[in-house]
Amino acid sequence: MLKRKICVITGTRADYGLLQGLMQRIISDDALTLQVVASAMHLVADYDYTYRQIEADGFVIDRKVDMSLVGDTARDITRSVGKGTQIFADVLAELEPDIVVLLGDRFEALAAAQAAMFARIPIAHIHGGEITEGAVDDMIRHAITKLSTLHFVATDVYKRRVIQLGEQPSRVFVAGAPGIDNIKTMKLLPKDKLETEFGFELGKLSFLLTYHPATLSEQTTRLDNIIHALAEFPQAKIIITLPNADTGGKQLAEDAKAFFRSQPGRIYLTPSLGQLRYLSLLQYIDIVIGNSSSGLLEVPSFNKPTINIGDRQLGRQRAKSVIDCEDSTCAIFAAIHQALSDQFQQQLQEVVNPYGDGHANERILAVLKQVELLGVDRKTFFDIDYKLPLQ
């Protein structure tokens, strides 16, 4: 009996960290063959060549898709998507997978989805149905949903939204968030091991900062307001991970590097922590600051506060450990004070993460193994039975 070929496509440190557990389950299953394609940020020096981490974890990369992202303007990213679509077309023709697995809302995933759709290869999309109104990722995510045939969503709310987009209910599965699985299954590192690997000592008060461009914002995204707010907490050590390769990302990276140079010994700066070190670090930090999706998805499982700045994650479900604030020095300062208050710290112990129970990957794997693929690429639009007044 031929093994079913599952092609997992990854473009960043973030989506690889979430896909890693599923990839390991596919390898361990006698009925499946794993194919791995690394693209985009994984192949860029400025982002620390993170494809090496994939290989270090024991995976074989079947193909690399160099999308030649040399800038971060809208034109640069559009050209990168075009080039990526062409290369993915060749890669998928060579690998001939039975299913392509994509996660999230990145532009490289959109390029891969277009190539797979035209090749009539079923796409299994993870983390669809979510809302992030402050970023172009929102539109990319919904576009990938419409190109996909299998949908693994994190919550019931997101299932309803994917169905609202016209997807067949029988092909929408509430799996939970794979990131929660990693927290349950990974053997996290102790504090002294982390400090040795970083060459950096965490303080009695430590903040983790990850701030990505809000690509739909009318204002130029900078770190100035965050830096000014952090100046009011000079006793805090700060770990900064650099932003994604989105429009405006290079300016944010330069701001972070300048901040790092201005305060030697206080700040640890890295392009990527990797999933194991990132999750391990969450055990020991006091606040996660920025606008990363991880602050909403994974951090609540550690009963730690997240300060979510601006509207990048607007519309996404969140736990009570998340403090939303506008991108102003006063608002960020007030949010940090709230997060450190005794009252808020007590509330954290009762936080429930809405993104699942840590069994997402086994649910996804069961469907990938058993789903009938004959005719799965033929999509029909599912109409919701409701009455809407016409204007």
What is the CATH classification number for the domain harbouring 211? 3.40.50.2000
Strand partners, 101: 8, 124
- For residues 198 and 160, state if they share a domain: no
Amino acid at the residue 212: H
Rounded CA gap, 109 and 75, in Å?
Answer: 17
- For residues 363 and 340, state if they share a domain: no
Angle of helix 360-370 relative to helix 178-185, nearest 10 degrees, comes to 120
Neighbours of 3 (CB within 10 A): 12
Rounded CA gap, 165 and 128, in Å?
Answer: 11
- For residues 200 and 339, state if they share a domain: yes
* 178: enclosing H helix or E strand: helix 178-185
Supply the pLDDT for residue 213: 84
Q: Record the tokens describing residue 341, joined without a space.
A: 């208050």
Strand partners, 240: 209, 269
CA distances to 107, 123, 146, 161 from 136, rounded to whole Å, are 9, 21, 16, 18
Residue 169 lies in a domain: yes
Strand partners, 27: none
- For residues 115 and 224, state if they share a domain: no
Rounded CA gap, 289 and 225, in Å?
Answer: 12
Main-chain phi, psi angles of 134, to 5 degrees: -90, 5
Cβ neighbors of 88 (< 8 A, separation 6 or more) are: 9, 37, 39, 65, 111, 112, 114, 115, 116
Residue 248 lies in a domain: yes
Residue 390 lies in a domain: no
Residue 385 lies in a domain: no
Task: Report the number of distinct structural domains present in the chain.
Answer: 2
CA distances to 80, 91, 277 from 274, rounded to whole Å, are 25, 26, 6
Supply the pLDDT for residue 69: 65
- For residues 126 and 195, state if they share a domain: no
What strand order describes the sheet that includes 206-210? 267-270, 237-241, 206-210, 287-290, 306-309, 322-325
- For residues 53 and 84, state if they share a domain: yes
pLDDT tens, the chain, 391 aa long? 689 999 999 999 889 999 999 999 999 999 999 999 999 989 988 888 999 999 999 999 999 999 876 677 889 889 999 999 999 999 999 999 999 999 999 999 999 999 999 999 999 999 999 998 877 888 999 999 999 999 999 999 999 999 999 999 999 999 999 999 999 999 999 999 999 999 999 999 999 999 998 766 655 578 999 999 999 999 999 999 988 777 778 889 999 999 999 998 999 999 889 899 999 999 999 999 999 999 999 999 999 999 999 988 988 999 999 999 999 999 999 999 999 999 999 999 999 999 999 999 999 999 999 999 988 778 899 998 766 554 4
What does pTM read for this prediction? 0.87
Cβ neighbors of 66 (< 8 A, separation 6 or more) are: 39, 43, 87
Q: Record the tokens describing residue 138, joined without a space.
A: 């929102």
Residue 387 lies in a domain: no
- For residues 64 and 135, state if they share a domain: yes
Residue 28 lies in a domain: yes
- For residues 332 and 363, state if they share a domain: no
CA 370 to chain centre: 27
- For residues 136 and 215, state if they share a domain: no
Residue 171 CB-half CA count within 13 A: 29
Rounded CA gap, 253 and 328, in Å?
Answer: 19
pLDDT tens, residue by residue, 65-102: 998 766 778 898 899 999 999 999 999 999 999 999 99
Rounded CA gap, 55 and 42, in Å?
Answer: 11
- For residues 148 and 213, state if they share a domain: no
Nearest C-alpha neighbor of 323 from the set 313, 309, 341: 309
- For residues 211 and 296, state if they share a domain: yes
Rounded CA gap, 256 and 105, in Å?
Answer: 24
Q: What is the DSSP letter of 376?
A: T
Residue 389 lies in a domain: no
- For residues 169 and 245, state if they share a domain: no
Strand partners, 307: 289, 323
Supply the pLDDT for residue 219: 58
Q: What is the DSSP letter of 206?
A: E
Residue-number span of the structural domain to which 298 is assigned:
189-348
Contact 10, 95 (CB under 8 A): no
Residue 382 lies in a domain: no
